[in-house]
Amino acid sequence: MVQAQTVHIRLLTRDDAAAYQAVRLRALQESPDAFTVSYSEEVDQPLTHFAAMLEIAPTFGAFVGGKLVGLIGVSIGRWLKLRHRATIIRVYVAPELRGQGIARRLLDAALAYARQQPQIEILDLEVTVGNEVARRMYAEAGFVSYGVNRRAFKIDDQYYDVEMMALDLKRDSR
Ligand SMILES: CC(C)(COP(=O)(O)OP(=O)(O)OC[C@H]1O[C@@H](n2cnc3c(N)ncnc32)[C@H](O)[C@@H]1OP(=O)(O)O)[C@@H](O)C(=O)NCCC(=O)NCCS
């Protein structure tokens, strides 16, 4: 069991690109049904790609003993008409450290970050139907389901439904 104080959460920078690349590729390889992007689409990308991903969407990392073990990103709408919305992305914690509150701390950091951006009114996310741990965590944080995208993605011959959830930051007082 990891003591709470040994987990350090902070925003990642370009300097973290190599560590981010390793954790991100592990996430895509181990949990293909949790992410839209496939491992095969990122594994050959150069380090600059991963550095750019960190700049495109602010991403928090969880560190245990100085090692990056968890991720969460906040993708802010870039088009003028979408600037009031942001999306929670890239949520992952290394399997050996799960069940110890690390994802919840990452989510709290992402929520605090979003609340500091005055233009963000609504946070969106998508969770694969059947991913009960993630779904429950989002619901407990105040996210409300607003629909299911049936057969949202397909791996080989298997379809996956994706539940869409949103948190209204202007109404949520937490
Ligand atoms: C989903 C995921 C990020 C959760 O990470 P984690 O660090 O284990 O989560 P936490 O320990 O913070 O737990 C979050 C909540 O789920 C509960 N939980 C965690 N693991 C659980 C388990 N195996 N069974 C039941 N509940 C569990 C915790 O009790 C906690 O609830 P609480 O806040 O009421 O105590 C992790 O399982 C993961 O990386 N999965 C693969 C990728 C993925 O599914 N990403 C999400 C995409 S939407």
Residue 90 lies in a domain: yes
Confidence band of 130 (pLDDT split at 50, 70, 90): very high
d(CA 46, CA 4): 34
Mean pLDDT of the chain: 95
- Tokens coding 82: 């979408």
Residue 168, ligand 1, Cβ within 6 A? no
pLDDT of residue 2: 59
Q: Output the six-digit token pair for 70.
A: 């968890």
CATH number of the domain where residue 147 is located: 3.40.630.30
Asked whether the beta carbons of 164 and 124 are under 8 A apart, the reply is: yes
CA 42 to ligand 1 center in whole angstroms: 24
Does residue 110 belong to any structural domain of this protein?
Answer: yes
Parallel, antiparallel, or unpaired: how do β-strands 67-76 and 59-64 relate?
Answer: antiparallel
The answer as to whether 114 is a domain residue is: yes
Q: Is residue 103 part of a domain?
A: yes
Residue 27 alpha carbon, nearest atom of ligand 1: 42
State in Å, rounded, how far the first CA of the chain is from the last one: 28
**Shortest-distance Cα residue to atom 3 of ligand 1:** 92
Q: What is the pTM of this model?
A: 0.95
28 CB near ligand 1 (under 6 Å): no
Our count of domains for the chain comes to 1
Q: Which domain holds residue 100?
A: 4-168
Q: What is the pLDDT of residues 30-55, one digit of tens each?
A: 999 999 999 999 999 999 999 999 99
174 falls within a domain: no
